[in-house]
Amino acid sequence: MKSTKPHWIAIGLLSALLLAGVVKVVVLGSTGEKAADGRTALLLEPAERQAVLGEMRLLLESTQSIVEALANDDLTAVEAAARPIGSAAIATVDFSLRAKLPLDFKKLGFGTHYAFDDIANMANEKQPAKAIQMKLAETMNNCLACHAAYYLPE
């Protein structure tokens, strides 16, 4: 009877390598060195970079619409601005791009999208504008944290 011990060692080593690769992709993403200001570079293809920047612009545009709608006491417009960039927007991000983004970046991004769901729900429930405004202010802390931690070099 032949010994299967060498096979299990090989399987164990291959599994460890595979796990290390998964950890690198899922947790670390495609990142570069830290800049002088401490931010980490996200290394993306030009089209992926444009997709991320486009999503950020959409979040900013929607935030401006929500601020304006709150100033006009128009909760219907608040919900209309917040709903499309809630969790439904997460499904529009390409899976290969998601794999390149570090876990902390994804946590901030997903948290931001879910917070816009909360804002839309608060507006739908006719909660006070001040409460919605406070939720938006808290949500923008995710934007600040992300921009303080990452940058997108060309």
pLDDT > 80? residue 3: no
For residue 34, give the 3-state DSSP assignment: strand
Range of the domain at 81: 41-151
pLDDT > 80? residue 140: yes
Whole-prediction pTM: 0.79
In the numeric block, which tokens belong to residue 71?
Answer: 């100033």
Please work out, in degrees rounded to the nearest 5, the angle formed at the alpha carbon of residue 75 by the alpha carbons of 55 and 145: 35
Which pLDDT belongs to residue 91? 87
Q: Per the domain annotation, does 36 fall within a domain?
A: no
pLDDT > 90? residue 126: yes
What is the rounded average pLDDT of the residues 96-124? 95
Please report, for the domain that includes residue 96, its CATH number.
1.20.120
Q: Per the domain annotation, does 67 fall within a domain?
A: yes
Q: Is residue 82 packed enough to be buried (19+ CB in 10 Å), middle (13-18) or exposed (0-12)? A: buried
Looking at residue 48, its amino acid is E
Q: Per the domain annotation, does 3 fall within a domain?
A: no
| Tens digits of residue pLDDT in 75-92 | 999 999 999 999 999 988
Q: Per the domain annotation, does 35 fall within a domain?
A: no
Is residue 112 very low, low, confident or very high in pLDDT (cuts 50, 70, 90)? very high
Is residue 106 very low, low, confident or very high in pLDDT (cuts 50, 70, 90)? very high
Q: Per the domain annotation, does 89 fall within a domain?
A: yes
How many structural domains is the chain composed of?
A: 1
Which pLDDT belongs to residue 26? 46
